[in-house]
Amino acid sequence: MNSEWGTKMYRGFYCFLFIVILGLLSGCSLLQTESQTGVSVKQGYLNLNDWDGEKNGVVRLDGDWEFYWKKTRDFQENEKQYISVPSTWSNEKGVPGHGYAAYRVVINHVNKDTEYALDMPSISTAYNLWIDGDLVGSNGTPGIDKKTTMPAYHPQEVYFSSEDSTIEIVLQISNYHYRDGGIWESITFGTADQIKDIAFKADALEMVIFGCLLLSGLYHTVLFIQRRQNHSALFFSIVCFLVCIRIAATEDILIVDFFPNIPWSLIVKLEYLSFFLSVPMFLWVLYTLYPNHIAKKFCQVHMYVSVIFSMIVIFTSPNTFTHTNIAYQLMTIISIVYVSIALLKALKDKQEGALIVNLCAGFLSLTVINDILSVNSIIHNYRLSSFGLFVFIFSQSYIIANRSAKAFNEMERVTHELAVLNQTLEEKVRERTLSLEDSRDELRKANVKLENLSYKDQLTQIPNRRYFDEKFHIEWSRALEIQSTIAVMYIDIDYFKLYNDTYGHEAGDDCLKQVAKVLEETLKPYNGHIARIGGEEFIVIVSDVTAEDLNKVCEACRKSIELLKITHVKSVLSKIVTVSIGAALVLPHTRMSSRDLINAADHSLYVAKEKGRNQVCIDFRKK
């Protein structure tokens, strides 16, 4: 039955995934701006005599524009060259990336007295736009040198009317702040209503994807907070947030709508940082899913390289760090090839969810490669990596849902087995009335054993937080009743995260076991009760103790851990494992809360850490 249910779930997910991908591709087609007439600019002219805006749709002004290097608007006919649009002028004409130029195109056979519009993308990196001799739009401040040029990214729609059947478009472009200059994305021409419709759909689709990724990031962050061992959720949430930043800093540059005065250089830095950091985070996501197939070393190396690239972005100007993009793109393609091979091996080994992850990761990889080719002007297509991640989110959601369903099924199975066992037990009790007392005794022992297990930490085999809470309540009530002292000690292993990162979680678990065992033995002569409350932190209750005795207990515990001499090469204090201890002692009264004592001990632990760790700090509280 479970197998049949799982098969139906797989089929349902595949159908749902197909619908999602189809919907995204349909969304892209809604934004398609290619004219159905197939017209293009030829030697600076675009003839639209066979073009019907309502029937054929909008037109991309792609083709050969007139190009005047180091000219603004004072160009001459004999200075004319031609340049392919979209492209950068350094790739197309072999001129330096820094400079200024004029672009010109003439559109023939348009309808008079019709409101038209241009969908202007980001142009590297500042421009003025003239139509029929009138300045109708600008982006930044174009100039003839770096001092007179102010770069900006602000895609916009420019609306205008023509009193003639010919439209002259002139762009004065300058770039002194980026790697390359020129019109690197298509400019779209159409009626005002068409351009408005395309812009609205593009913004709406981008906002939907942005919102979905943001919500997914927040959702996985909550999953990680609730279960800190779920590193997959943490890494995936970081990927979602980074892609949200990239969406806001590219294409329609949404971030400018929210922060109009944001510096241009910061937008470019966010664009590059979100790319450089999202790739290693995504590798860590896949590693947490399939640690036996994706090498941790590979993820670490990619992370280190990404940090280096990110430092270059942070501490240099766009003129410098934009040259690193191609190198990082090549490394990304290598990572895609490696991950593809690793995921195929996971699929071959029949790992849980491997088929779905392969399909979605494959789709994401294709969209990333598409973006790399688009950025380098090898192809002229939409940026699709955000769509790819959007699809991958569904694979993550499916895996989580599938695991939850399996856990629920397992719980039902165990519940059913327990019900059967209880029924069998009742029948045996009725049949064996003579051994009723023995059966009850066995059942009582089993309950005691089960209760003992519920009070124990499974790793260290010492009491857990539940035991501490109940024991502390009893001891506090007793101390309040007979007016005797009570103390609480917090014990924390110094730099334990560094120990885990250096020696691995298995060694970290072994270290916790040794520390717990020694502390338990050390506290026996003092009638102390120890419990592990999480991670590398322990808590101790000591009753009927003086301030002097409490100090002896704390020092005995601290020294006992030093005597273990567990090697810890990454410790800032010494090369062995040490502990910091914070304690508080009080003679309770009715106006005092037991929480005050715990908080005081916790504060003492904080003070011990502040003083350099491997120390004891005690708060001797008065009534």
Contact 98, 175 (CB under 8 A): yes
For residue 529, the cross-strand partners are 541
Burial of 291 (0-12, 13-18, 19+ CB in 10 A): exposed
Choose the catalytic residue: 115, 536, 555, 610: 536
d(CA 298, CA 295): 5
- Among 585, 581, 605, 582, which residue's Cα sits nearest to residue 542? 585
Token pair 């410790």 in the structure block, residue: 571
Amino acid identity for residue 174 in this structure: S
d(CA 107, CA 559): 87
Structure tokens at 99: 């400079």
d(CA 24, CA 16): 12
Contact 84, 63 (CB under 8 A): yes
d(CA 152, CA 145): 15
Amino acid identity for residue 616 in this structure: V
Long-range contacts of 11-20, Cβ-Cβ distance < 8 Å, separation of 24 or more: 13/356, 13/394, 13/398, 16/394, 17/356, 17/359, 17/360, 17/391, 17/394, 17/395, 20/390, 20/391, 20/394
d(CA 246, CA 276): 10
SS3 content of the chain, % helix, strand, coil (to 5): 55, 15, 25
SS3 call for 491: strand
> Phi and psi for 170 in degrees, rounded to 5?
-125, 130
* DSSP classification of residue 578: -
Contact 405, 352 (CB under 8 A): no
- To the query of whether residue 536 is one of the catalytic residues in this protein, the response is yes
Contact 105, 169 (CB under 8 A): yes
Burial of 412 (0-12, 13-18, 19+ CB in 10 A): exposed
Contact 210, 244 (CB under 8 A): yes
d(CA 390, CA 397): 11
Contact 615, 580 (CB under 8 A): yes
**Neighbouring residues of 493: CB distance < 8 A, sequence distance ≥ 6:** 499, 511, 512, 515, 536, 537, 561, 577, 578, 579
d(CA 193, CA 238): 39
Contact 122, 151 (CB under 8 A): no
SS3 call for 579: strand
Contact 546, 485 (CB under 8 A): yes
* Residues that are catalytic: 536
